[in-house]
């Protein structure tokens, strides 16, 4: 009983804080998302006259919206430590991020750690489960041109055809440069048993911290976006020759997210902030597209190898609390990712002022009409 009494003030404050954060999140969504939609509607003439400028402005607003989501976790003490290759070196080139998927918080983590990578977030396309279409952020993703993919064997072929068409119609027309893809096709806890059974059947390694990836979406992306040289081989740069400006997709960024004690953060925790401050660790490894095979069997083997390496990375992290050093290095170096409090204040102020402006505009027209 004494322990309960000692914890009562902390539990009470946690509940009050969670309710306050939830109320702010609702208000934040109401003003920010509605303002985004109204701005996009008003800017439609610009879309006709100068499509590139329209999508640039839309991308900036999209980045601000994702920055607001990132700020919810930031002020709850959920921060990010980055390891491996510095992806700022390729942030102006076209790239695909292949990310392991443990929980809904993975998306929020990426929203945070990519905010300081130039225009990456503004020019990014997400591939996500179709269920996200029906969330509060669904309308924003639809306008921005993200792709919602329906899982399941019965939908697979049709979804891949739709993805190809979506990329051809929206990727370069909207000046997109990065794609975020979760090749496992679902959360770790939901797919692990099925993946392990498949691995046993195909004599593949037994994985615990990740699942074997699905090849379909990755292959479609590469087929549509990789520029071909005259000899048929993919064009692309070398990580040591960053002045390369060959057209098409140039990099694959193998991204591994690790949570302390293998306890992932979900979207509810990110919003309500009831979990103690946590540092999420993100490891990057950059591959030039010319080193990635495009044929089905070779690409499957290549993807499997990446996720076997992820398994090794995560095993090392859970044992030691750090990722292993890169080949040829004695120790791994981490980089703390930070958000600017002033920048967050400015984008939040813009959102609420915009909401107030649109409210007054609609109120004025309402009184004029009625």
Q: What is the pLDDT of residues 125-147, one digit of tens each?
A: 999 888 778 877 889 999 999 99
What integer is the mean pLDDT of 299-309? 95
Cα radius of gyration (the chain):
22
> Backbone phi, then psi, for 251, in 5-degree steps?
-140, 145
**Which range is least confidently modeled, 12-16, 136-140, 357-361?**
12-16
Least confident of 17-26, 172-181, 231-240, 343-352: 231-240
Please write the tens of the pLDDT for every residue from 195-209.
Answer: 889 888 888 889 999
Q: Domain locations in the chain?
A: 78-230+247-339
At 4 the pLDDT is: 67
How does pLDDT run across 143-177, given as a tens digit for each residue? 999 999 887 777 788 889 999 999 999 999 999 99
Whether 349 has a pLDDT exceeding 60, the answer reads yes
Specify whether the CB–CB gap between 280 and 266 falls below 8 A.
Answer: no
pLDDT of the residue at 194: 87
Within 13 Å, how many C-alpha atoms sit on residue 266's CB side? 5
pLDDT at residue 45 is higher than 60? yes
Closest CA to 29 of 58, 57, 71: 71
At 140 the pLDDT is: 94
Report the C-alpha gap between 366 and 370 in whole angstroms.
Answer: 6
Task: With cut-offs at 50, 70 and 90, classify the pLDDT of residue 8.
Answer: confident
Count helices and strands (H / E) in the chain. Answer: 11, 8
Q: Are 58 and 202 in contact (CB under 8 A)?
A: no
**pLDDT averaged over every residue in the chain:** 89
Distance of CA 327 to CAs 82, 317, 323, 332, Å?
Answer: 17, 16, 12, 10
361/93 Cα distance (integer angstroms): 40
Q: What's the rounded mean pLDDT across residues 4-30? A: 84
**Model confidence at 293, in pLDDT bands (50, 70, 90)?**
very high
Per-residue pLDDT, 232: 44
Share of the chain above pLDDT 70, in %: 92
Output DSSP code: residue 323. Answer: P
Torsion of CA 84, 334, 65, 172, to 10 degrees: -20
The predicted pLDDT at position 134 comes to 80
Q: Is-contact 344 67, C-beta < 8 A?
A: yes
Cβ-contact 102, 264 below 8 angstroms: yes
């Amino acid at each position: 009983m004494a322990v309960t009494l000692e914890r009562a003030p902390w539990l009470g404050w946690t509940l009050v804080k969670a309710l306050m954060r939830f109320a702010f999140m609702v208000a934040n969504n109401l003003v920010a998302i509605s303002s985004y939609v109204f701005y996009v509607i008003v800017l439609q003439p610009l879309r006709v006259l100068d499509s590139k400028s329209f999508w640039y402005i839309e991308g900036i607003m999209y980045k601000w919206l994702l920055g607001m989501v990132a700020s919810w976790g930031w002020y709850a003490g959920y921060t990010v430590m980055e390891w491996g290759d510095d992806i700022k070196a390729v942030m102006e080139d076209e790239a695909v991020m292949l990310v392991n998927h443990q929980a809904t918080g993975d998306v929020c983590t990426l929203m945070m750690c990519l905010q300081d990578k130039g225009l990456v977030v503004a020019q990014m396309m997400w591939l996500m489960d179709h269920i996200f279409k029906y969330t509060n952020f669904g309308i924003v993703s639809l306008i921005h041109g993200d792709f919602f993919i329906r899982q399941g064997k019965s939908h697979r072929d049709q979804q891949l055809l739709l993805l190809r068409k979506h990329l051809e119609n929206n990727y370069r027309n909207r000046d997109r440069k990065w794609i975020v893809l979760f090749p496992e096709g679902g959360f770790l806890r939901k797919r692990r048993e099925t993946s392990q059974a498949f691995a046993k059947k195909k004599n593949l390694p037994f994985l615990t911290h990740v699942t074997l990836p699905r090849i379909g979406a990755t292959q479609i992306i590469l087929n549509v976006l990789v520029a071909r040289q005259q000899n048929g081989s993919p064009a692309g740069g070398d990580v040591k020759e960053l002045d390369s400006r060959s057209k098409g997709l140039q990099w694959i960024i193998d991204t591994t997210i690790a949570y302390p004690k293998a306890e992932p953060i979900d979207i509810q925790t990110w919003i309500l902030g009831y979990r103690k401050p946590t540092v999420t660790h993100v490891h990057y490894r950059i591959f030039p597209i010319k080193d990635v095979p495009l044929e089905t069997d070779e690409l499957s083997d290549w993807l499997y190898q990446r996720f076997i390496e992820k398994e090794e990375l995560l095993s090392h992290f859970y044992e030691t609390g750090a990722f292993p050093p890169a080949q040829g290095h004695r120790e791994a170096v981490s980089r703390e990712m930070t958000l600017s409090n002033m920048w967050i204040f400015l984008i939040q102020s813009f959102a609420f002022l915009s909401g107030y402006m649109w409210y007054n505009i609609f109120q004025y027209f309402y009184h004029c009409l009625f």
